[in-house]
Structure 1
Amino acid sequence: MGSRREDEKTGGVEIPILSSKLSPPRLHEIVPRNRLLETLDTAVSVKLTCVVAGAGFGKSTLTADFLNRRGLPYAWYQLEDSDRDLSIFLAYLAAAFDPNMDFQETSGGGPVSASRAPRSDRRAELAAFLSGIERRVKDDFFVVLDDFQEVSDGQEVIGALDFLLAHLPGNLHLFILSASEPDLDLAKMRGRREVLEIREDQLCFNDEETARLLEDVFFLQVDDEDITALTELTEGWITGLILLSHTLKSGDNTHIGRIRNEEAVTSPMLFDYFYRVIYQDLDEELKGFLLRTSILSRVEPGFCDAFLEIGDSGRCLSRLAASHLFVIPLDEAGTSYRYHNLLRSFLLDVLSKAFTPSEVASLHARAAVLWEERGESEEALGHYMTAGEPEKAAERLESMAGVLIRYGRYTFLRQAIERLPQPILQEHPRLLYSLAQCYERLGAYGQALEIYERAASIFAERGDQASRMDCMRDGLKLAVLSGKAPQAEASMEEFVEIFEDSALDMDSWFQSAALMSAGSTYLGMADRARGFIEASLARIEDVKEDGGRLTMLTWCGYASLLLGEYRQAVDLLIRARKLAVERDFLSHLPDICCLLSLTHSAMGRFAEARGYAEEGMRASSAAGSEGSIHPTTIQNRLARAISLEDMGEDEGFLELSRLRRLAEEGEDIWLAVNCNLFSGTAYLWAGDLQRSLRCFRRTETLCREKGFLDDELLSSLSRIALTMGEEIDAAEALEEARRIVDTMQNRAAGVLRSVSYLLLASILFQTGDDDGALKTLSMAVAMDEKNGGLGWWKAYSRLVLPIIAIAFSRGESIDFLSEAFRVIGSVSLPYLYRLRRSGLREAREKAQELIEELLGKVAEPLEIRMLGSLRVAKGRSRIEEADWRSKRALSALKYLAAHHARGPMQRDVLMDLLWPDMDPEKASKNLNVALSTIRKTLDPDADWGDSRYLVSSGNSLLLEPGDGGWIDVELFRDKLEEALAAREAGDSRAFLQRCLEAEALYGGDFLAEDPYEDWCLPIRETLKKAYIDLLRDITDEYIEAGAHDRALTYIEKALAGDPGREDLYRCAMVVHASRGDRAGMEKAFERCRKYLRDNLDVSSSAETQELYNTLGERFANG
């Protein structure tokens, strides 16, 4: 069994040392926790490692596995209630360090009696105990105190451990494994970095570890979706995963699907565990509290007091959370909790057996009313449904649907509506309309179209023409996007007939007219589209509702883009974007930015196009356009891809390939057509004619199947131009091309008519008809000169450059064609070199001017980021750190970039920086080598000593990023100056915009990879202070505008950068108070106090305390 020790309290009777209490757990079939094992490696350099988590999270298994894998000497002490006696505790602790050690020896010759000994004597005895261990244990040694919660209320043991930890020799290390927070004095140890702490959230299994458990231990074959579902369901709780795995092992894999689809899990083994380990030992008060509140997804003390008509919910929840009984605090102030998924499933199961259905329904009904009284309709919805009151749930959803859609809450709204019974939905067709909108925005066009039609039918029966037209209008749009041309044409005619006969309110009329303008363009009805646009724009100011005006501007802008009227499109879409931002219509921004990007691409303004596309992608994420396969996300990615200056890069082509695949997997056929068509033009521009041809042919096939005639004609014409005389006789090809162009002139939008002229000009030139080609080209010039369309000229430049050069040499439309050469870029240079010898003086001089312009642009601009770690990109290619080959060269580059704004730098400055103690002559030679490395890395094709980026003159050096290049530190400072100027001018909107732009540039502390470089420190500190002040300015602007949520976002960013600034916590307190959020205000105050106490060992200032008292009094007084 073990040895025995004497105990003074038992009159000299020996204390039995049970070897079972000093035995480590047996490990078998474990899942390696590599990420945590790496974290635990720090344990060898600290005195104490604390692992705190509830039952079943693998504390003991992880610790034993770590010590065994690392080959570390250790002893295990399994604590029990009796170990609260300090004599017993120390006896076992001594035996853990050395089983042969005499406890009397370690305690200085006599037993330790903490309860009766004076404090000075107790410290002496503990010191003697520690001295005895130190004499016996010379090497690194670890002792694990398992189940430490068993002695957590033993004050003698706690006091003794505090003393022992404070004086523990460097070779001795303790592990404390506990289900509750140990009441030890750890503040100073944390400050000295002598303690490693691992919490429950770190112990939870991730997907990879869940997969290893299921596959390697239980031999279950499951897919990634099932693994993620099980991890989310159990929240990574290891014992829960093991018990569920046993359930799955005993059944079949179909059970996983049932688990994934059920709200509550019913596993006998799991529920038995909860009953035996947690539930049965609770007192009746806590049992009743848990059962009744298990119906709540969020558990708040104040709400529970009202719900249960008691006054101590906060105490109950604090007790449960402190014991790690699967009650999870959602904030540090203890104002909100939730139950673990599996515990809640268990409690709901017990509730259903202990209460009658009517009693459970009454609980839900009461909860619903209380949540509504608190203004939380979302929480109330589910309770109304479970209480058997779906009519009330439907009424609440109808009032909330518009706001939820506006802020991108599509999935939540869809799930809530689909929980309603069908008869209820039949009585609330507006909810069907909202459901269709959700499916549309989630990319499920087929389901959305069916629901729009159902809702329209119900509205028609009720005589609600305005709502019916809402459904028909949106259904028409989806019919077009889905490639259902016959249905779209029939819907359009029906819609127009009803539209003309209906007495619509003004907003509905304009929204319908605007959307029909785009729909008419889709269907080749260009004149009708222009009529609707003109009618809408003539009275736009009569539209009173912001959402209606936004819809009208967006659709009219879209129609203008399709018609090739780019300048009008840009004007309308810019107005739409401004309105969306100002009125917080965030869910509209992705579409608007996408259209702006496409319009700018069509105009040859590729930098602006890329900027709008990236803004659209960010807006998609912020507005809840979920997942990479959402049509709006794909469209913005496509817009970004086709706006890049150099689509010959592999990265760009890989993106286009991904987008084509994603688009064709979805239901937006129009998007699939666009992806293939634009990929074809991108490959053509890059000179990859075979892949270009494949994409044009795929476009033809898609269009032919779905009835997109205009795009089918364009892709056919592109194919003919690429294969002139190869597939069919040249004369036949020309005849077919003319027929296509005639058809497009009669029905297609302006943008496609212009492109058709370009392609026909190329085809005529290939047949030798130069005059015909020039005449046809002049028609394209006439159209695009008016509307500013130059993007297509670049896309088809390899086909049309020869005929453009002929027209230019004859002096035809030189100004417009010069702009075309600029947009087309360096591909034009061979033609411009020849044009320098033109017989026309104006053409010669203009060609020379363009050559000089384009040669300057050929040098790709440098983008240098130093906020965060150094990142250098040339054009679209990133220069990796390994490419520099020399740390000195890299240091020189960093210094030159950081001081670029000062102008040329003397060589001596760099020599002193890099080689401060070296002979000047040697230092100069070393600098030449470093500068040569910089030149070769930035400009490997340049001649020796020549560089377009590193300019030297005499003893001066200048790093030149090039035309369009930038250095983020300079941009950041420039934006700060612009913001200051805007503030001084009283332009608060411009001030906020410049501040946001500056904030977006700050990617981290200046050159974070060089924390100890002396020259970096003052720059880093100055920039960081400016950044924190900037965040405070943004916060103040949002507070003044009443945008409290945004203000809180930037306060949190500021606190992440400087968590010791009390003014930021005070600001957060004020914002929460302004929102009426007392809990948030108190949480901010507690965070402030905790940080200052734990990290700076000071109390909060009188100003902060006074503000807290003032705000608290305001809440108390209502």
Structure 2
Amino acid sequence: MSNAFPTEQPYSLESAQALISLAQEKRYSDTLGAILAAEQAFTAAQDLNDTPLLLDSLKQLSVCSSLVNDYAKAIAYAELLLREAQLTNSLERQADAHTLIGIAHHDMGNLDAALEQFQQALSLHEATGSAVNMAPVLYNIGNIYAFKGWFETALAWHLRCLELKPVLPRTLVIQLLNGLGCDYHGLGNYADALRCLIESEQLAEADCAKVLQGAALGNLVSVYLDYGDVASALPLSVKALSLAEELKNDRQIAAKKLQLGTIYAAMGDSAAAIAQFLDALTTAERIGAMFLQTDSLTKLGDIYAQLGDADRAKQHFLQARQLAKEFGYHFLEGQATLALAKFFMRQNHFDDALDMLRSGIEISQQCGAKALEQEYHAALALTYKSLGDFSKSARHAKLSERLNQQTAVNDNARKLLIEFEAQRFLKKHAHHNTADFETALQLARKAIEQKHLRLTPRQPPSLSPAVLSLPKDTVLVKTFGEFVVTINGRTLSKDDWQRKKARDIFKILLINHRNAVTTDELIELLWNGNLEKNVEQVIKNSASFIRKALEPGLLPRERSQFLRTEGKAYVLDLGDEDSIDFLRFKKLIRQAATDRAQRTALYEQAVSLYIGDFLREDLYADWATLERESLKDSYLNALVALADAASKAGNDDAAIARAKQLLDADRTHDKGYEILLKTLCKRGDLPEARRIYAQCQDAFKKELDSPPPPYLQRLFPKLT
């Protein structure tokens, strides 16, 4: 907060006017400081009995109150401004008051009430003929339609405002560019969206307008997520959240946590995503931000659905859809309806899904949201296929592909992203004025260009008449303990596989997920390399049985979503590896090895997945042994790390619990005994320690025919 406030009392007119100027200057970079300046100006106006000054101070107080999410105060100040303006018959100030009341209602989610206020303000400004004063109202009306999801209408209002650009204040230009970027993004026009958003962010950063910079960064994150570039989205999202937290702007904090949660979800970290979504929902409920509440509920529903919590997922989707309908958020209603339809598809309730999709696609078309409409067509294609209506399925698949082509990130958009990232690199390292820096900049630009060549945008690959490429079904695989495969809620029985060899081959392909396994390798693993009669035909038949088990509705010669043939090799690809427990486990273990800050949390997630040995029903199958032992070693190492961490933190109960888990998994795990015995001795529980040590001696004698390791005997001489 600035300290440059005039402090003389009684105030002079000049010092009071300086406070108004300071509040206006600081409101987007130091909102709390701006409020203090405006409050002092309000006091001065009362002391000086100066009506114009009073009206100016009330306007600034209302603007700043909305920026810190105190909507009750914002409306109260604006209503006082309206009364004072009516007494003085100032049409301009009356219009300002209606605009400010509209902004507060907009931020609370009361879109229709906000629109009514903005229209009253517009009528008053049209009466005065002031283009400068009319522009903010045009901008705000455009925002209302953008929040409703009517992007074409929003764009028309924002373009009308843009016509007045030569007379607009710079802050409004920054806001308008951001609004235009949102409109173009909603319509699937990535190139124009990026031009507007990048310019908005750069102007805001130059002016230290932190609120506006955070808004532009947040919208750029949305583009990156559509583009599939999670790595670039993450630092931008963190920066936007940092700006919001610096300004203590709860509404922006909640919005940025929603985006950060979306990024974590894309990275496969469901726990971190849920934490961010719950924080956003709690904040949105506290400040009454209905738009953010609705979005939070939908995103939480998506995560719960992925984790198999059907009841909570459905509850969140229904709540989100109801709120969206109630407050007129048509785009969010379309998103929530699509999420609910996908939920019904996972449950194999395709008739219910179809009802949702038919109503939701109309909403997406009304909004002009091509990306959302494309998702509806893709879901309809899959639903009709599941219901056996292949002609409708093909028609919707073609419409989905057509919209993919219209909304694809084109070369112009790609060039804009490359230039934006290069400029950010330049700003970050601008102090390095050396030849080495010039070389580094060239290499950085080349690396950025190569990254964008590798990236795959949100859209799936093109469809050809011969191949119907549809969204993959949801597959969940459990390998720890009992072996279970579930597809869209349908759990496969042993009979579904038809032959044990088919089930075995599926498991081998699963161990090598997304990697080719040759026929020769299968023969070596399952028949010890012996070329028995018709063994290759058995493998071909088994592949056919696997396809039928996974996709019972698959037509003859129709390509499988999951199992493909590459020459004399087979590749199994079940989609999201987080839905396969042992692959999710391995991913968490890898992350824990490199992320020291989150290591304990990652290990806890990993060990929670390990509910039994890998493919326990194939205990004596050589082809499963190596993977089983590797996974168990990782599990034991994770438990050791958790036990050590608990012990260092002084959490003896947790250390004992983890040590006992170690010994349950391996009765001769000396590190488990060491941690358990040390903790018991530390507590002074020598009787229990002696009992455990006797158990240790017995286990080593029975399983290894040896005494416990000498170092244990040296550590605990009183127990021997």
Q: TM-score, normalised by structure 2?
A: 0.55
Cα pair distance change 1:430/1:558, threshold 3 Å? farther
Instruction: Please identify which structure carries the higher helix content.
Output: 2
**Following TM superposition, by how much is the alpha carbon of 1:689 offset from its aligned partner in structure 2, in angstroms?**
2.9
1:934-975 Cα deviation digits (max 9, x unpaired)? x97999389xxxxxxxxxxxxxxxxxxxxxxxxxxxxxxxxx
Match of 2:145 in 1: 520
Q: Kindly indicate whether the alpha-carbon contact (under 8 Å) linking 2:115 and 2:141 is maintained by their aligned counterparts in 1.
A: no
CA distance in 1 between counterparts of 2:16 and 2:291 reads 35
**Partner residue of 1:776 out of 389, 396, 412:** 396
**Following TM superposition, by how much is the alpha carbon of 1:440 offset from its aligned partner in structure 2, in angstroms?**
1.0
Q: Kindly indicate whether the alpha-carbon contact (under 8 Å) linking 1:724 and 1:733 is maintained by their aligned counterparts in 2.
A: yes
Matched, 1:487 2:108: no
**Following TM superposition, by how much is the alpha carbon of 1:770 offset from its aligned partner in structure 2, in angstroms?**
3.7
Q: Look up the equivalent residue of 2:377 and give its one-letter code.
A: Y
Match of 1:33 in 2: none
Q: Kindly indicate whether the alpha-carbon contact (under 8 Å) linking 1:479 and 1:488 is maintained by their aligned counterparts in 2.
A: yes
Q: Look up the equivalent residue of 2:256 and give its one-letter code.
A: N
Match of 1:403 in 2: 25
**Following TM superposition, by how much is the alpha carbon of 1:865 offset from its aligned partner in structure 2, in angstroms?**
11
CA distance in 2 between counterparts of 1:485 and 1:938 reads 56
Cα pair distance change 1:544/1:536, threshold 3 Å? closer
Tell me the SS of whatever aligns to 1:772.
Answer: helix
**Following TM superposition, by how much is the alpha carbon of 1:550 offset from its aligned partner in structure 2, in angstroms?**
1.0
Match of 2:212 in 1: 588
Match of 1:715 in 2: 336
**Following TM superposition, by how much is the alpha carbon of 1:671 offset from its aligned partner in structure 2, in angstroms?**
1.3
Tell me the SS of whatever aligns to 1:723.
Answer: helix
**Partner residue of 2:129 out of 480, 489, 503:** 503
Match of 1:678 in 2: 299
Cα pair distance change 1:650/1:735, threshold 3 Å? closer
CA distance in 2 between counterparts of 1:757 and 1:559 reads 22
Match of 2:56 in 1: 430
Cα pair distance change 1:725/1:549, threshold 3 Å? closer
CA distance in 1 between counterparts of 2:363 and 2:56 reads 42
CA distance in 1 between counterparts of 2:406 and 2:235 reads 25
1:176-222 Cα deviation digits (max 9, x unpaired)? xxxxxxxxxxxxxxxxxxxxxxxxxxxxxxxxxxxxxxxxxxxxxxx
Matched, 1:619 2:247: no
Trace 1:667-706 onto structure 2 (pairs within 5 A).
Answer: 667-706=288-327
1:503-539 Cα deviation digits (max 9, x unpaired)? 3346x55554444322222345443223234445678
Q: Kindly indicate whether the alpha-carbon contact (under 8 Å) linking 1:647 and 1:686 is maintained by their aligned counterparts in 2.
A: no
- CA RMSD, aligned part only? 5.2
Q: Look up the equivalent residue of 1:517 and give its one-letter code.
A: G
CA distance in 1 between counterparts of 2:600 and 2:227 reads 21
1:984-1020 Cα deviation digits (max 9, x unpaired)? xxxxxxxxxxxxxxxxxxxxxxxxxxxxxxxxxxxxx
**Partner residue of 1:607 out of 211, 227, 231:** 231
**Following TM superposition, by how much is the alpha carbon of 1:775 offset from its aligned partner in structure 2, in angstroms?**
2.5
Tell me the SS of whatever aligns to 2:256.
Answer: helix
Match of 1:555 in 2: 179
**Following TM superposition, by how much is the alpha carbon of 1:481 offset from its aligned partner in structure 2, in angstroms?**
3.0
Q: Kindly indicate whether the alpha-carbon contact (under 8 Å) linking 2:230 and 2:267 is maintained by their aligned counterparts in 1.
A: no
Tell me the SS of whatever aligns to 2:275.
Answer: helix
CA distance in 1 between counterparts of 2:39 and 2:600 reads 49
Match of 1:532 in 2: 157
Trace 1:576-975 onto structure 2 (pairs within 5 A).
Answer: 576-622=200-246, 624-625=247-248, 630-644=250-264, 645-647=266-268, 649-723=270-344, 734-735=354-355, 737-747=357-367, 749-788=369-408, 810-811=466-467, 860=587, 871=596, 877=602, 940=634
CA distance in 2 between counterparts of 1:504 and 1:530 reads 22
**Following TM superposition, by how much is the alpha carbon of 1:412 offset from its aligned partner in structure 2, in angstroms?**
6.0
Q: Kindly indicate whether the alpha-carbon contact (under 8 Å) linking 2:317 and 2:340 is maintained by their aligned counterparts in 1.
A: yes
CA distance in 1 between counterparts of 2:34 and 2:593 reads 39
Higher deviation after alignment, 655-664 or 474-483:
474-483
Cα pair distance change 1:713/1:431, threshold 3 Å? same
CA distance in 2 between counterparts of 1:533 and 1:845 reads 53
**Partner residue of 1:569 out of 189, 193, 196:** 193
1:297-348 Cα deviation digits (max 9, x unpaired)? xxxxxxxxxxxxxxxxxxxxxxxxxxxxxxxxxxxxxxxxxxxxxxxxxxxx
Tell me the SS of whatever aligns to 1:811.
Answer: coil
CA distance in 2 between counterparts of 1:841 and 1:726 reads 21
Cα pair distance change 1:937/1:735, threshold 3 Å? closer
Answer with 1 or 2: which has the greater Rg.
1
CA distance in 2 between counterparts of 1:853 and 1:693 reads 23
Q: Kindly indicate whether the alpha-carbon contact (under 8 Å) linking 1:511 and 1:551 is maintained by their aligned counterparts in 2.
A: no
**Following TM superposition, by how much is the alpha carbon of 1:642 offset from its aligned partner in structure 2, in angstroms?**
0.9
**Following TM superposition, by how much is the alpha carbon of 1:435 offset from its aligned partner in structure 2, in angstroms?**
0.6
Q: Kindly indicate whether the alpha-carbon contact (under 8 Å) linking 2:337 and 2:356 is maintained by their aligned counterparts in 1.
A: no
Trace 1:401-480 onto structure 2 (pairs within 5 A).
Answer: 401-410=23-32, 413-414=35-36, 417=39, 420-421=42-43, 423=46, 427=52, 428-455=54-81, 458=84, 469=95, 471-480=97-106
**Following TM superposition, by how much is the alpha carbon of 1:612 offset from its aligned partner in structure 2, in angstroms?**
1.6
Cα pair distance change 1:487/1:674, threshold 3 Å? same
Q: Look up the equivalent residue of 1:670 and give its one-letter code.
A: F
CA distance in 2 between counterparts of 1:825 and 1:785 reads 31
**Following TM superposition, by how much is the alpha carbon of 1:851 offset from its aligned partner in structure 2, in angstroms?**
6.1
Q: Look up the equivalent residue of 2:120 and give its one-letter code.
A: E
Q: Kindly indicate whether the alpha-carbon contact (under 8 Å) linking 2:261 and 2:275 is maintained by their aligned counterparts in 1.
A: no
Size of the alignment, in residue pairs? 483
Q: Look up the equivalent residue of 2:388 and give its one-letter code.
A: G
CA distance in 2 between counterparts of 1:677 and 1:522 reads 16
Cα pair distance change 1:656/1:689, threshold 3 Å? same
CA distance in 2 between counterparts of 1:490 and 1:748 reads 23
**Following TM superposition, by how much is the alpha carbon of 1:553 offset from its aligned partner in structure 2, in angstroms?**
0.9
CA distance in 2 between counterparts of 1:610 and 1:532 reads 32
Cα pair distance change 1:408/1:535, threshold 3 Å? same
Tell me the SS of whatever aligns to 1:871.
Answer: coil
1:432-467 Cα deviation digits (max 9, x unpaired)? 121112211211123313433443565577676666
Q: Kindly indicate whether the alpha-carbon contact (under 8 Å) linking 1:570 and 1:596 is maintained by their aligned counterparts in 2.
A: yes
Q: Look up the equivalent residue of 1:522 and give its one-letter code.
A: F
**Following TM superposition, by how much is the alpha carbon of 1:614 offset from its aligned partner in structure 2, in angstroms?**
0.4
**Following TM superposition, by how much is the alpha carbon of 1:695 offset from its aligned partner in structure 2, in angstroms?**
1.2
CA distance in 2 between counterparts of 1:554 and 1:442 reads 20
1:1019-1077 Cα deviation digits (max 9, x unpaired)? xxxxxxxxxxxxxxxxxxxxxxxxxxxxxxxxxxxxxxxxxxxxxxxxxxxxxxxxxxx
Q: Percent identity?
A: 14
Q: Kindly indicate whether the alpha-carbon contact (under 8 Å) linking 2:345 and 2:353 is maintained by their aligned counterparts in 1.
A: yes
Tell me the SS of whatever aligns to 2:634.
Answer: coil
| Higher relative contact order (CA closer than 8 Å, sequence separation 6+) | 2
**Following TM superposition, by how much is the alpha carbon of 1:397 offset from its aligned partner in structure 2, in angstroms?**
1.8
CA distance in 1 between counterparts of 2:352 and 2:370 reads 26
CA distance in 2 between counterparts of 1:620 and 1:584 reads 13
Q: Which runs of 5+ in 2 are unaligned?
A: 411-458, 478-486, 489-508, 516-546, 606-628, 637-720
CA distance in 1 between counterparts of 2:119 and 2:316 reads 33
**Following TM superposition, by how much is the alpha carbon of 1:616 offset from its aligned partner in structure 2, in angstroms?**
0.7
Tell me the SS of whatever aligns to 2:156.
Answer: helix
Cα pair distance change 1:854/1:710, threshold 3 Å? closer
CA distance in 1 between counterparts of 2:206 and 2:193 reads 20
Q: Look up the equivalent residue of 2:116 and give its one-letter code.
A: A
**Following TM superposition, by how much is the alpha carbon of 1:674 offset from its aligned partner in structure 2, in angstroms?**
1.4
Q: Kindly indicate whether the alpha-carbon contact (under 8 Å) linking 1:567 and 1:787 is maintained by their aligned counterparts in 2.
A: no
CA distance in 2 between counterparts of 1:743 and 1:852 reads 32
**Following TM superposition, by how much is the alpha carbon of 1:610 offset from its aligned partner in structure 2, in angstroms?**
2.1
CA distance in 2 between counterparts of 1:581 and 1:547 reads 11
**Following TM superposition, by how much is the alpha carbon of 1:762 offset from its aligned partner in structure 2, in angstroms?**
4.8
Q: Kindly indicate whether the alpha-carbon contact (under 8 Å) linking 2:22 and 2:37 is maintained by their aligned counterparts in 1.
A: no
Q: Kindly indicate whether the alpha-carbon contact (under 8 Å) linking 1:565 and 1:750 is maintained by their aligned counterparts in 2.
A: no
